[in-house]
């Protein structure tokens, strides 16, 4: 990263640790990172691992920052935001939330209003530097601040903007929940291979490497997935038989139904969270 504004993380869970680790791997200065959490023992582990500054005082942590990352669970977000509101209303940092389901307006209201706010929907592969995050900025966010957020989340994968906040429900259904879809496919392939007599360890390694290789090919290729699929298929061959079986079994329709179910549940959870705070 070319610049090092001070960034404070309110919350020190796995995702916060993944982001911090990615930032440091990309040249960010540990001295410009603060982390707060209620468990001092855990904070000391974070401090020793990353060399960042830590505190159990959320207000003090927020006060240091040009950018505050809200990395606590949605169920406690209201209390955390209301606690630091007097500080951030005075310092006016960029606020970034990685909590699912809580809208920018809701968060901004808890923080006292009028703040630049970015919502980010990351996913679990961020923990290994292969994340895919959807980002939404409210009208208070400046271009320079958007670039700051991009640089942070690109340190752990891809970071892509959406113009409509409601589209974050779609991001949740795609990349947020998506890793589990591929794990299901991986699990099913392993089971099928072991039933055919391949050793379980061998089946897993072959399936994982095949999935990783296919993803890398898709990322590098100028062709769309449909063409890549056709490139593997020979007329009358094994791949064609397998693909025809998937198509005849309604795989596309099933994937569409699953995506829509996740999308709908994301909308429902947002309403539930808003009603409980």
Q: pLDDT of 125-179, one tens digit each?
A: 999 999 999 999 999 999 999 999 999 999 999 999 999 999 999 999 999 999 9
Main-chain dihedrals φ then ψ at residue 209, nearest 5 degrees: -65, -35
C-beta of residue 175 within 8 angstroms of C-beta of residue 125: no
Tens of pLDDT, residue by residue over 195-208, are: 999 999 999 999 99
Tell me: is residue 15 an annotated ligand-binding position: yes
| Confidence category of residue 2, pLDDT binned at 50, 70, 90 | very low
Tell me: is residue 14 an annotated ligand-binding position: yes
| Confidence category of residue 124, pLDDT binned at 50, 70, 90 | very high
> What is the predicted pLDDT for the residue at 269?
87
- Which fold does the domain 177-266 belong to in CATH? ProC C-terminal domain-like fold (1.10.3730)
pLDDT, the chain, mean? 95
> What is the predicted pLDDT for the residue at 272?
86
Tell me: is residue 11 an annotated ligand-binding position: yes
CA angle 154, 155, 156 (to 5 degrees): 90
Closest by Cα among 229, 41, 246 to 12? 41
> What is the predicted pLDDT for the residue at 244?
97
The two beta strands, 33-36 and 157-161, are unpaired
Tell me: is residue 251 an annotated ligand-binding position: no
Tell me: is residue 72 an annotated ligand-binding position: yes
| Confidence category of residue 3, pLDDT binned at 50, 70, 90 | low
Q: Average of pLDDT values for 27-35?
A: 96
Tell me: is residue 73 an annotated ligand-binding position: yes
CATH for the stretch 7-165: 3.40.50.720
Tell me: is residue 12 an annotated ligand-binding position: yes
Q: Tokens 């996740």 identify what position?
A: 262
> What is the predicted pLDDT for the residue at 277?
63
C-beta of residue 55 within 8 angstroms of C-beta of residue 49: no
| Confidence category of residue 264, pLDDT binned at 50, 70, 90 | very high
Counting Cα atoms < 13 Å in the Cβ hemisphere of 25 gives 15
Task: Please say if the pLDDT value at position 97 is more than 60.
Answer: yes
Tell me: is residue 114 an annotated ligand-binding position: no
Q: Tokens 């593997």 identify what position?
A: 232
The full set of domain ranges for the chain reads: 7-165, 177-266
Tell me: is residue 80 an annotated ligand-binding position: no
Tell me: is residue 10 an annotated ligand-binding position: yes
**pTM to 2 decimal places:** 0.90
Tell me: is residue 71 an annotated ligand-binding position: yes
């Amino acid at each position: 990263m070319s610049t090092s504004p001070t960034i404070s993380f309110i919350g020190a869970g796995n995702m916060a640790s993944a982001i911090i680790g990615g930032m440091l791997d990309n040249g960010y200065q540990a001295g410009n990172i603060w982390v707060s959490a209620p468990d001092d023992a855990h904070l000391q582990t974070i401090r020793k691992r990353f060399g960042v500054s830590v505190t159990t005082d959320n207000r003090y942590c927020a006060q240091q920052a040009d950018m505050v990352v809200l990395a606590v669970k949605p169920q406690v977000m209201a209390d955390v935001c209301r606690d630091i509101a007097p500080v951030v209303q005075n310092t006016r940092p960029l606020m970034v939330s990685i909590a699912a389901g809580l809208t920018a307006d809701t968060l901004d209201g808890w923080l006292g209003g009028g703040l630049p706010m970015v919502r980010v929907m990351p996913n679990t592969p961020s923990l290994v530097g292969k994340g895919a995050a959807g980002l939404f900025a409210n009208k208070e966010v400046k271009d320079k601040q958007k670039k700051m957020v991009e640089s942070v989340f690109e340190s752990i994968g891809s970071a892509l903007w959406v113009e409509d906040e409601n589209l974050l429900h779609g991001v949740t259904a795609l990349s947020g929940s998506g890793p589990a879809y591929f794990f299901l496919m991986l699990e099913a392939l392993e089971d099928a291979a072991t039933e055919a007599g391949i050793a379980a360890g061998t089946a897993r390694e072959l399936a994982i490497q095949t999935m990783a290789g296919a993803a890398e090919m898709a990322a590098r290729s100028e062709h769309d997935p449909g063409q890549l699929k056709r490139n593997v298929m020979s007329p009358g061959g094994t791949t064609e038989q397998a693909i025809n079986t998937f198509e005849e079994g309604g795989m596309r329709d099933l994937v569409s139904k699953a995506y829509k179910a996740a999308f709908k549940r994301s909308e429902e959870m947002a309403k539930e969270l808003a009603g409980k705070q």
